[in-house]
């Protein structure tokens, strides 16, 4: 089946829009997988996996694993695995969320991950996440919530009140970032949970809330994702790192033949080190492989490969010197094989070679990134998964600008290239 860039991008835009938080991204992927015939499993149940079937399971509603069992035994064929992460840096609400103030009521926020803070100012911010409540029957339940409209804003301080703003402005996360929510009269006693209850009534009219017990909510840019450039060479959106990879992995698995054992894992908490029950340092993937492969697990892993997809830094035209001159990836010139011999990336010559081989067969471009030798190197879930499972791993990603900004930019042609290679990888008769 031929899939062109415009089809991938047309569907990517609403995917990004429907996925403002890791729980929403997971719900969006789950919905697509179930619609494509994947059977949903639950970790607390007994599993009786069948050959030639497709399954999906989530943990904490924020990490997801989908797999096709294929016709063969994974111990004989290996498993073609792809990985990505569902989370992105953002501002999350503190538990006591409201900061009353006579100028305007504000939210108390905590920075999640390594957010680039300056771009959060002067944006229309919406709010989404998960709310936990007790219903009329006394049961404790969770539901997802998304205000979908601008409910808050972090105004810049005018240049007249800070003459050094263009040369010397810093951001204090405690005092400069609380978003403005609303103006309320002094005698107003509205609690934040009252606002959440009203929102729940709007989004889920059947839900009867007795009391809100907790929430995990994050702000996001209300501006929708869009194609940018005179020739629409670019896509601009929040959370391209790393929902673009989640989406590409998802489409590759759904559109692969399903004849071979293949798997997609998208973990939460990559931006904060991955150590959590559902993070890539946790046991989620390992537990699923145990239940799928049983005593054949070690043999299956020895024949498997993980392609860990996470966006890469493209060469920014205003800051060319931030890249090694021979290893600076360009937007729209193909996915980027990430190499770091100090194992900040798990790529080795063999995993890189397999990727290049598939790309060559499909006549598709690729690039290679190595960080400047005088700069530190980022990392991702690849080395963690490789270290936990002992699986041959490749770190790759499409190049982008503005990583960890509230609005990032990638090329419109790189995603479809990665999709084609991943789909081919997932339907090879032998992985390695
Ligand atoms: Zn990332």
Taking the centre of ligand 1 as the mean of its atom positions, its distance from the CA of residue 210, in whole angstroms, is 38
Taking the centre of ligand 1 as the mean of its atom positions, its distance from the CA of residue 405, in whole angstroms, is 12
Give the model's pLDDT for residue 382: 87
Give the model's pLDDT for residue 246: 98
Taking the centre of ligand 1 as the mean of its atom positions, its distance from the CA of residue 432, in whole angstroms, is 26
Taking the centre of ligand 1 as the mean of its atom positions, its distance from the CA of residue 240, in whole angstroms, is 9
Taking the centre of ligand 1 as the mean of its atom positions, its distance from the CA of residue 18, in whole angstroms, is 19
Give the model's pLDDT for residue 216: 96
Give the model's pLDDT for residue 87: 98
Taking the centre of ligand 1 as the mean of its atom positions, its distance from the CA of residue 232, in whole angstroms, is 24
Taking the centre of ligand 1 as the mean of its atom positions, its distance from the CA of residue 244, in whole angstroms, is 10
- Quote the CA–CA distance of 346 and 333 in Å, as a whole number: 22
Taking the centre of ligand 1 as the mean of its atom positions, its distance from the CA of residue 145, in whole angstroms, is 24
Give the model's pLDDT for residue 191: 84
Taking the centre of ligand 1 as the mean of its atom positions, its distance from the CA of residue 73, in whole angstroms, is 32
Taking the centre of ligand 1 as the mean of its atom positions, its distance from the CA of residue 84, in whole angstroms, is 8
Taking the centre of ligand 1 as the mean of its atom positions, its distance from the CA of residue 372, in whole angstroms, is 19
Give the model's pLDDT for residue 2: 55
Q: Which residues in the chain come in under a pLDDT of 70?
A: 1-5
Taking the centre of ligand 1 as the mean of its atom positions, its distance from the CA of residue 311, in whole angstroms, is 6
Give the model's pLDDT for residue 3: 66
Taking the centre of ligand 1 as the mean of its atom positions, its distance from the CA of residue 380, in whole angstroms, is 6
Taking the centre of ligand 1 as the mean of its atom positions, its distance from the CA of residue 185, in whole angstroms, is 42
Taking the centre of ligand 1 as the mean of its atom positions, its distance from the CA of residue 322, in whole angstroms, is 19
Taking the centre of ligand 1 as the mean of its atom positions, its distance from the CA of residue 47, in whole angstroms, is 32
């Amino acid at each position: 089946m031929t899939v062109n860039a415009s089809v991938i991008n047309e569907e990517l835009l609403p995917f990004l829009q429907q996925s403002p938080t890791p729980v929403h991204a997971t719900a969006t992927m789950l919905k697509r997988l179930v619609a494509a015939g994947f059977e949903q499993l639950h970790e607390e149940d007994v599993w009786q996996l069948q050959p030639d079937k497709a399954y999906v399971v989530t943990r904490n509603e924020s990490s997801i694993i989908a797999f096709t069992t294929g016709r063969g035994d994974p111990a004989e064929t290996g498993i073609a695995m792809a990985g990505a992460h569902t989370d992105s840096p953002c501002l999350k609400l503190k538990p006591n969320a409201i900061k009353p103030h006579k100028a305007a009521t504000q939210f108390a926020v905590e920075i999640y991950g390594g957010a680039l803070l300056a771009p959060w100012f002067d944006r229309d911010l919406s709010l989404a996440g998960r709310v936990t409540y007790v219903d009329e029957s006394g049961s404790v339940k969770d539901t997802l919530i998304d205000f979908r409209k601008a409910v808050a804003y972090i105004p810049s301080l005018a240049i007249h009140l800070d003459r050094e703003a263009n040369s010397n402005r810093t951001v204090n996360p405690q005092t400069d970032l609380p978003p403005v929510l609303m103006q309320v009269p002094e005698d107003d006693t509205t609690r934040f949970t009252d606002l959440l209850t009203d929102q729940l009534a709007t989004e889920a009219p059947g839900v009867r809330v007795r009391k809100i017990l907790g929430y995990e909510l994050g702000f996001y840019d209300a501006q929708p994702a869009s194609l940018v450039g005179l020739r629409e060479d670019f896509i601009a959106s929040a959370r391209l790192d790393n929902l673009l990879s989640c989406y590409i992995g998802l489409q590759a698995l759904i559109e692969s033949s399903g004849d071979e054992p293949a798997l997609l894992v998208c973990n939460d908490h990559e931006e904060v080190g991955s150590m959590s029950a559902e993070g890539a340092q946790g046991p989620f993937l390992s537990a699923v492989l145990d239940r799928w492969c049983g005593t054949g697990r070690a043999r299956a892993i020895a024949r498997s490969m993980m392609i860990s997809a996470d966006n890469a830094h493209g060469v920014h035209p205003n800051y060319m010197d931030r890249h090694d001159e021979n290893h600076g990836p360009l937007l729209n010139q193909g996915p980027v094989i990430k190499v770091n011999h100090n194992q900040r990336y798990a790529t080795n010559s063999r995993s890189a070679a397999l990727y290049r081989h598939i790309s060559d067969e499909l006549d598709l471009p690729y690039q290679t990134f190595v960080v400047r030798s005088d700069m530190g190197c980022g990392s991702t879930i690849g080395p963690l998964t490789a270290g936990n499972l002992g699986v041959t791993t490749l770190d790759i990603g499409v190049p982008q600008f503005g990583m960890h900004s509230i609005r990032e930019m990638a090329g419109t042609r790189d995603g479809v290239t990665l999709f084609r290679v991943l789909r081919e990888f997932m339907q090879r008769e032998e992985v390695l």
